[in-house]
Structure 1
Amino acid sequence: MSTTPPVLAAELAVAWADIQRHHPELPDLAVPESLIDESSSACGTELSFERLLHEAAHGLAAARGIRDTSRAGRYHNRRFLAVADELGLEHPDDAHPSSGFSLVVMRPETRRRYASTIERLSRALGAHQSYTTGTATGRAFRGPAARHSSSGGGVRAKAVCGCGRNVRVVPSVLAKAPIVCGGCGQPFTIVDPAANPTATPARVA
């Protein structure tokens, strides 16, 4: 019997609120879930408190009307670096030719300031990783990303509706609310047993 997955979105919201406590200008994080399955080579692919601070720098820049990136968001300019500095991040090297000052890291004093929040979020991330890879129950599987080389939006699996149409969808997104086919009116259901062993295959007409 599987365990209930951790509420990672809630932990992200708590961590974001801690950053807001030090930086009241920072807007609320409207959709914490968007960070869980999102992958961005420009802003960092690994979800962590450091990544959250990076996103907070973008949030502060947006609140102030500062254009902190160019080249479709890939190049992080010196205005981004200045805001990131306020949040306790630094870029120890020269600007990267394609991403600029994107790969900022926490300074030691920043890590100390948020030590308890970092530890709490790290535990939640670890539990989430164990659940999504199956290691929490001693099982493991090779996810759809490995089989289908999907990238840029998280791990996707095949889902079909009653009339046989199919889409690729992140299982955690589908679990939040049904995605209904505009043709037959039936919800899409994940049928890949490796991606969702408990799913009931949809009847194909």
Structure 2
Amino acid sequence: MSTTPPVLAAELALAWADIQRHHPELPDLAAPESLIGESSSACGAELSFERLLHEAVHGIAAARGVRDTSRAGRYHNRRFLAIAEELGLDHIDEPHPSSGFSLVTLNPEARRRYRSTIERLGRALKAHTAATATDTTRSFRGPAARHGSSGGGVRVKAVCDCGRNVRVVPSVLAQAPIVCGGCGKPFRIPEVAAVG
């Protein structure tokens, strides 16, 4: 197994810490590796420093008790937008009909402030992409793919031995076990019974 994911997780944690230096109320990033397996999310952006800053907006909103999204996290409202502006993200003038103000971009000042962090994370992301590039025609993409989904940010139900369940992106669960706090056993995606 490649050592790139732990390196990338460490770089994500360092980048998050850099954001925290400028915005101390931002909570710690509990699981940087959870961002690695998702090529997309409800926010619709690939993993990058800009995406990390977008996620930091959600973190600050949560710390403040601000509801910054609706429609199961897809629609980013004006409260999200106000915090995004604080963190150095620009936005379009009008909201997108289904995702609101989710499409934010780094403004020039933020790009200068985080330049070295952006470059360092960019190198780690490039190395991760190169190390994980595989022949997708022979790779297993999990239950979401079997059900016709692209599998990118699609979460599926994972269960543990005591019957608790969580929604998780299959590729994230494949990277390392997620352990239940109740029974101490790992969550797993139930096999889909074959029909025939």
Separation (CA, whole Å) in 2 of partners of 1:107 and 1:59: 19
2:42 alignment partner in structure 1: 42
**Equivalent residues, number:** 163
Whether the 8 Å contact between 1:44 and 1:51 is mirrored in structure 2 is: no
2:10 alignment partner in structure 1: 10
Query: Of the two, which has the highest radius of gyration?
Result: 1
SS at match of 1:90: strand
Q: Residues 63 and 17 from structure 1, CA distance in 2 versus in 1: closer, same or farther, beyond 3 angstroms?
A: same
Whether the 8 Å contact between 1:144 and 1:150 is mirrored in structure 2 is: no
TM-score with structure 1 setting the length:
0.69
Measure how far apart 1:173 and its partner are.
3.6
1:63 alignment partner in structure 2: 63
| Per-residue CA distance 1:100-153 (angstroms, 9 max, x = gap) | 10101100111111000000001110111111114xxxxx44344497554244
Identity of aligned residues (%): 69
Whether the 8 Å contact between 2:92 and 2:101 is mirrored in structure 1 is: no
Q: Residues 10 and 77 from structure 1, CA distance in 2 versus in 1: closer, same or farther, beyond 3 angstroms?
A: same
| Per-residue CA distance 1:133-188 (angstroms, 9 max, x = gap) | 14xxxxx443444975542447xxxxxxxxxxxxxx84664453499xxxxxxxx9
TM-score with structure 2 setting the length:
0.72
Aligned-residue CA RMSD (Å): 2.9
Separation (CA, whole Å) in 2 of partners of 1:10 and 1:153: 22
- Corresponding letter in the other structure for 1:31: A
2:111 alignment partner in structure 1: 111
- Corresponding letter in the other structure for 2:51: R
2:74 alignment partner in structure 1: 74
Q: Which runs of 5+ in 2 are unaligned?
A: 155-168, 180-187, 189-196
Q: Residues 83 and 145 from structure 1, CA distance in 2 versus in 1: closer, same or farther, beyond 3 angstroms?
A: same
- Taking the TM superposition and a 5 Å limit, the aligned residue runs for 1:25-36 are 25-36=25-36
Whether the 8 Å contact between 2:27 and 2:60 is mirrored in structure 1 is: yes
Higher RCO structure, 1 or 2 (CA under 8 Å, sep 6+): 2
SS at match of 2:17: helix
Q: Residues 153 and 22 from structure 1, CA distance in 2 versus in 1: closer, same or farther, beyond 3 angstroms?
A: same
Separation (CA, whole Å) in 2 of partners of 1:73 and 1:30: 19
Q: Which runs of 5+ in 1 are unaligned?
A: 135-139, 155-168, 180-187, 189-205
- Write out the 4+ residue segments of structure 1 that deviate beyond 2 Å after TM superposition: 2-6, 38-42, 140-150, 169-179
